[in-house]
Every structure is written in structure tokens, then in C-alpha cells.
Amino acid sequence: MARRGGAPEVNAGSMADIAFLLLIFFLVTTTIETDAGLDRMLPPFEPPTEEPPIIKEKNIFTVNINKDGQLLVEDELTNIKDLRKKAVAFLDNGGAPSGSPEYCSYCQGKHDPASSDNPDKAIISLKNDRETKYGTYITVQNELVGAYNELRNREAQRLYKQNFTDMEAAYLNPETPSSIRDGLKDKVKKIQDLFPQKLSEAEAAPPGTIN
Amino acid sequence: MSKFNKKKGSELPAVNTASLPDIVFMLLFFFMTVTVMKDSTIKVENTLPNASETKKLEKKDRVIYIYVGKPTPEYQKVFGTEPKIQLNDKFASVSEVGDYILQERAKKAQELQNVLTTALKVDKNANMGLISDIKQELRKVNALKINYTTYEGDAFNNLNN
């Protein structure tokens, strides 16, 4: 069409490059970041007629949070920074005498008979006020999950020379090849059974009842 | 040099690439329209708390979101400053949470309906009373797997204000 000697055509060759640039920009920026958070399971809703199982007082680790964010751990006013240490000591105690079926062979705690028998029996009971700030609650949850992770990591290091949190992340990641994932499944399960997360949450108390 | 001095007459016409931009633009528009950036505008203040022991929330199609927080300034005249629940695009009361979960669950594919997670995106200044009520509602509709969505960070920063 363009006649020789006429005005040259505008070079549109770079148009594609510009469009590609835009395309890549959108492709990259719209990958939505994955959210992260604390996973929890709620207890199933069951009629209150059922008889609750009898649990020994020493196997319960009570944590109360009042509306000002103060902690009452095992009836002692506690700084939130000490919570993890106390929870680890409680879970890892292994108070059952050696030789009994409940004896905890891998516990490295004090084996104090007045504290929890073994990690399987140990229950953390968390109670909060209705006016407790959510941020405080998450901090407490984080510390308690942290206590479990700390112990699980220790066991995973001992048994498999690996951190439990890494193993679990790899296991849950859908991009991990299934051959590796199958291998991890048993290990993750085993560590979870050594320190099962038993975190009981009471319904929030009406304001003013936890002091 | 004569190699490059081709005779004008016998020159092969260049492949016409003029339509290439159109094709690429078409792709561009496709991606621009298909990628959903956010499903709902958040009408509540939503500063999530920090936590360090987090797990990633994989697979977006298995998550139902619930937002809780103080209404943003533009909605405060109507809805006040007390923390509210936001489901999809509108404010809701606690009693609507159960229905919402059932509705959302029904929308998902059959095989996903048992593996859904409820992500609670709660402002760190909200009160636990409201959260407890939501949790009760979730228990009633058997949506037991929940995730307290947080930012990655030091959990003790939550205590500062």
C-alpha cells in the first residue's frame, strides 16, 4: 500500500513489547498473597446433658485473661512473657512415676508428681473475659501454640533431625511432591501424638467475673 | 558490503506483526478482568494482630472470611463505633453468621464442603465477647476449623495499645 517515496509507516513493532510489559505487570501483581494465621479447631457443639469426663486437677493448666489483659496462670499473676516457659514446663513435666503405664519416657521436665502426668493427659484451659482485647487473646494463643511447637520441634530434632514446624509446613504445602509428603505424614502424625494439642476454651465469662 | 545492499525490487515483504499488539492486549484484558483482587471492600477497621507461630492458609477456594472490627469513619455515623461483623459486603449481627456460613458452604463444590476453613479477620482492638459469640455460632453450624488470620510478627506487639 505504502507507495515508494511516501511517508514511512509508524513503526509499531515495539507496541507488542509495551503490551507484554503491562501483561507481565498484571500477572505479577495480581498474585494475591496467601494469608497466614493460627489454626484452631473448635469443639463440636453437643447437648449439655452429656457427662463431662473427670479430669484430675493437676492435669489442667488454667490460664485466665481479665479485661485489662492481665494473666492468671495456675492462680498466680503472671507476665505474658513467662507464659510460654510455664506452659512448656507443665506439658513436659511427665509426673507419672516410672514403671506405670502413663509414664512419659521422652519428657525432660521435672517429673513433679504434683503437675501433669504426661503430655497426653495435660490440658490447657483458657478462659477470657468478654472485654478482653482480641490482640491480647491472640498473643496468649500464640504463646501456647509456641509452647507446643517448641516441644514438638525438640522431639522432631531428636527423632528425625528436623524441625517439626518445617516438616508440617512441607506436609501441608500442596506443591510438595506426593512422594515426600507420604513420607512426612507418619512422622508428623507421630510427633503430634507425642504432644497432642489439648487446648480447651471456656465460653467467655461475663465482664467482671475474672479479676 | 554488497551482501547487505539488496536490490529494492526483489525484497521479501516482512511478516506483518501489526496484529501482535492486539493479541497481547486481548490477553492483557483477559487477565485484568479475570484476576479478582478483592472480593469485598472492607468496611471495618482491620488491623490484624501479630503472631509468630502462624500457618499458611493455602487454597483460597476453601476459605470463608468473616471480618470484625470498628466501622471505618465513613460508616461510623450510621453504625456507631462498636466493633461490628462484616459478611461479604454488609454489616451483620451475630445471629446471621450461622446462615452465612451455611450459604457459603452450599456454594462450594461438594467435595470441598467438609474441608472448609473459616478465617476470622479480626481487628486487634475488638473485644473477645463478640468473638466468643461468633465461635458459638460456628460451632452450631459445625464449622469447626477456624483460622485467626494474623500478620507475621512479634506477638508481644499486640500488647502495646
- Cβ-based contacts of B122 with chain A (< 8 Å): 134
Of A205, A75, A13, the residue nearest A127 (C-alpha): A205
Q: How far apart are CA A27 and CA A16, in angstroms?
A: 16
Q: Tell which wins on pLDDT, A10 or A143.
A: A143
Q: Is the CB of residue B116 less than 8 Å away from at least one CB of chain A?
A: no
Does residue A38 sit within a domain?
Answer: no
Q: How would residue A2 be classed by pLDDT, with cut points 50, 70 and 90?
A: very low
Taking the CA of residue A100 and the nearest CA in chain B, the distance in Å comes to: 34
pLDDT in tens, A169-193: 888 777 788 888 888 888 888 888 8
pLDDT, one tens digit for every residue, chain B (161 residues):
556 665 556 678 888 777 877 888 888 888 777 766 655 677 888 888 888 888 887 777 788 888 888 888 888 888 888 888 888 888 888 888 889 999 888 988 888 888 888 888 898 888 888 888 888 888 888 888 889 988 888 878 877 76
- Most B CBs within 10 A among A25, A139, A141, A152, hence the mutation to make, goes to A139
Q: What does the pLDDT average to over A137-166? A: 88
Radius of gyration of chain A from its Cα atoms, rounded to whole angstroms = 27
Domain ranges of chain B: 50-160
Residue A178 counted as domain residue: yes
Cβ contacts of B49 within 8 Å, gap of 6 or more: A134, A135, A138, A139, B122, B124, B150, B151, B155, B158
Residue A82 has pLDDT above 60, yes or no: yes
Between A20, A130, A169, which is nearest B128 by CB?
Answer: A130
> With contact defined as beta carbons under 8 Å apart, do A87 and A144 qualify?
yes
Q: For residue A137, how many other CB atoms are within 10 A of its CB? A: 27
**Residue A171, domain member (yes or no):** yes
B50-160 under CATH 3.30.420.270, yes or no: yes
Q: How far is CA A39 from CA A149, B8, B10, B149, in A?
A: 13, 73, 72, 8
Domain that holds residue A194: 57-201
The pLDDT, as a whole number, for residue B39 is 59
For residue A100, give the DSSP letter.
S
The structural domain count of chain A equals: 1
Q: Is B55 touching A (CB cutoff 8 A)? A: yes
In a domain, A142, yes or no: yes
